[in-house]
Structure 1
Amino acid sequence: MTTDPEVELLWREEDREPRPGLSLGRIVRAAIEIADADGLEGLSMRKVADRLGFTTMSLYRHVPGRDQLVDLMVDEAYSERASTPEEPETGQGWRMRLEAAARQGWQLRRRHPWLAEVRGTRHLPGPNAIAYYEHMLSTLTGTGLRPSEVIAVVGMLGRFVDAEALTLVETRREERRSGVSEQDWWGSRDALYERLNSFPTLSRLWTEGGWDHPEDSFEFGLRRQLDGVEALIRERDESRDESSACLECGTPLEPAPSGRPRVYCSRACQQRAYRKRKNG
């Protein structure tokens, strides 16, 4: 098995008897506290060291740098899934289970908005993050979606949750910077509002109360996303019903009682198809 120091760091086994003094666990927890308060932009190795009462150099004996520390923070945050409300039982429908999983991700980001700031495609996942991803994927097992579609659905929902969380990040950042709340800042823009009368659609929606009781953007968006997934699953089910025949011999297939749909009528047909693929 190949080794990768960064992967080994993330997938390490915790010490059963933590030693007193500075430890990787203490460093990660202190870093999370700083990021919760100040966002990722306020996180530095020096701040973590100051918070723990150690020198900055002493931290580097436990973690190579800030990037690796952020990956460790992400995985530690995902370990909190155990404290979120109980998940629906496996027997429940895919939509209920997928919605619950998306809400878990949203709750984590409400507690730790900086999670949405961890951008880019080259952040290594740890065991807790992978466990959450595995759970998200498993909610769509047996739906008839293609494997690539299952992955695409989970990715789409993850990006939606991150986008909503980024709004929280940006709001908190501006409030910290200016010392003015979001409501007060927009409430003092009378000079702007006086210029909006020349926009008929905007003005009509305003007079009809469109901004008086706004939709909860997360709840509205999550429902619409799940509606789209449901429509795709229904489309796949209809397509499967129309073409439920053995891929090898064409014999009509009985619907599978559960799990993945059947594509071969017998073990023999499955083996013949495998040999054809193997032999080109």
Structure 2
Amino acid sequence: MAVRHSGGGAADRTLALLWRNHRPTTTDSKPTLGRRPTLDLNKVVDAGITLADEQGLAAASMSGVAKALGVGTMTLYTYVPSKEELLDLMVDQVLAERALPGPGEPRPTSWRDQIHLYSDQTRAMFRRHPWLASISTIRPPVGPGMLAAREYLLSACAVLGLSPRQTNTAALAITTYIDSAAGLEADSEQLERSTGQSHDAWWHERWDLWETYFDVERHPTMTAIWNAKGYEDGTQEVYRFGLDRLLDGIEALRSQA
């Protein structure tokens, strides 16, 4: 699967598009004459997300979105300048779907429960939109969706009384673990759907590895764990184990603060 990168559009126009619904309203705007447009940017972004959900990210091209909306590709360019900006708009809108509690809004009382809420919402988001797993956000779409999640995690970690640097680092570590694991989970589910073959079936086809090629003397630890039934935990147990140990480590910093 080819990796796409967000954040590739021109900064000024991308920011204006991302924050289009968060500008202060003015009372001195004059009504415009003529026919009202039948298309707006929100419909364009919705169409791109729907195509990516149903057919994969490649389907959400400028021409593909234009066709889905029943307009010419050149018409679409009057709403979004390029595919780079469209990708950022799609990603940030999906990030905002998590609807994480903002300042002053009700949220779980325990900081761990707040992190688990972020975890649950993020994993559900990737399941709804598996194409997210093929997008690198090293240069993220700095829109409302991304910043809302960042504010939420920082506020959850801030109650621990750590230094500002530790609070930021803890939030970044949590984001890295949860987002990466959720992306891998979505990629796994997408692969099963696209190939029609379960992972268990894939491994079953390669059973000869253990019967013919596997050398127990060269892999004594693997063999010992196998004999002790140490490989029986499922993906969910592995994920929760890693997250809980990460939170244990962050919480242990309280005594050093």
Q: Which TM-score tier does this pair reach, normalised by the shorter chain? A: 0.7 to 0.9
The question of whether the paired residues in 2 share the 8 Å contact of 1:39 and 1:173 is answered with no
Deviation at 1:197, TM superposition (A): 4.2
Cα distance in structure 1, aligned partners of 2:66 and 2:80: 12
What SS does structure 1 have at the residue aligned with 2:20?
Answer: coil
Show the counterpart of 1:6: 14
Identity %: 36
Select the structure of larger CA radius of gyration: 1
Deviation at 1:42, TM superposition (A): 4.7
- Deviation track 1:160-218 (CA, whole Å, cap 9, x = no partner) reads 12221232343245335544222211121122121224222212222222233435232
Cα distance in structure 2, aligned partners of 1:140 and 1:202: 37
What SS does structure 1 have at the residue aligned with 2:167?
Answer: helix
The question of whether the paired residues in 2 share the 8 Å contact of 1:116 and 1:166 is answered with yes
Of the three residues 230, 235, 240, the one matched with 1:219 is: 240
The question of whether the paired residues in 1 share the 8 Å contact of 2:119 and 2:178 is answered with yes
- Deviation track 1:101-141 (CA, whole Å, cap 9, x = no partner) reads 33322222222233343314323321132122111111122
Structure 2 residue identity aligned to 1:174: L
Of the three residues 202, 207, 216, the one matched with 1:190 is: 207
Q: How many residues in Structure 1 have an aligned counterpart in Structure 2? A: 230
Cα distance in structure 1, aligned partners of 2:22 and 2:76: 17
Structure 2 residue identity aligned to 1:218: Y
Which is bigger in relative contact order (C-alpha 8 A, separation at least 6)?
A: 2
Alignment of 1:23-172 (within 5 A): 23-82=40-99, 89=106, 92-172=109-189
What SS does structure 2 have at the residue aligned with 1:125?
Answer: coil
Show the counterpart of 2:5: none
Structure 2: 5+ residue runs without aligned partners?
A: 1-10, 26-35
Structure 2 residue identity aligned to 1:12: R
The question of whether the paired residues in 1 share the 8 Å contact of 2:91 and 2:141 is answered with no
Cα distance in structure 2, aligned partners of 1:78 and 1:208: 42
- Deviation track 1:16-65 (CA, whole Å, cap 9, x = no partner) reads 9xx66332112111211222234435532222222222222221111111
Deviation at 1:145, TM superposition (A): 1.0
Cα distance in structure 1, aligned partners of 2:73 and 2:22: 23
The question of whether the paired residues in 2 share the 8 Å contact of 1:196 and 1:202 is answered with no
Q: Aligned in 2, Cα 1:62/1:187: closer, same or farther, shift over 3 Å? A: same
Cα distance in structure 2, aligned partners of 1:44 and 1:218: 34
Cα distance in structure 2, aligned partners of 1:118 and 1:90: 29
Cα distance in structure 2, aligned partners of 1:90 and 1:135: 10
Q: Aligned in 2, Cα 1:90/1:176: closer, same or farther, shift over 3 Å? A: closer
Q: Aligned in 2, Cα 1:215/1:177: closer, same or farther, shift over 3 Å? A: closer
Cα RMSD for the two superposed structures? 2.9
Cα distance in structure 2, aligned partners of 1:226 and 1:90: 18
Cα distance in structure 2, aligned partners of 1:211 and 1:204: 11
Structure 2 residue identity aligned to 1:207: N
Question: TM-score by structure 2 length?
Answer: 0.77
What SS does structure 2 have at the residue aligned with 1:145?
Answer: coil
Q: Aligned in 2, Cα 1:177/1:78: closer, same or farther, shift over 3 Å? A: closer
Cα distance in structure 1, aligned partners of 2:235 and 2:21: 44
- 1:210 aligned onto 2:227: no
The question of whether the paired residues in 2 share the 8 Å contact of 1:88 and 1:100 is answered with no
Structure 2 residue identity aligned to 1:13: N
Deviation at 1:93, TM superposition (A): 3.2
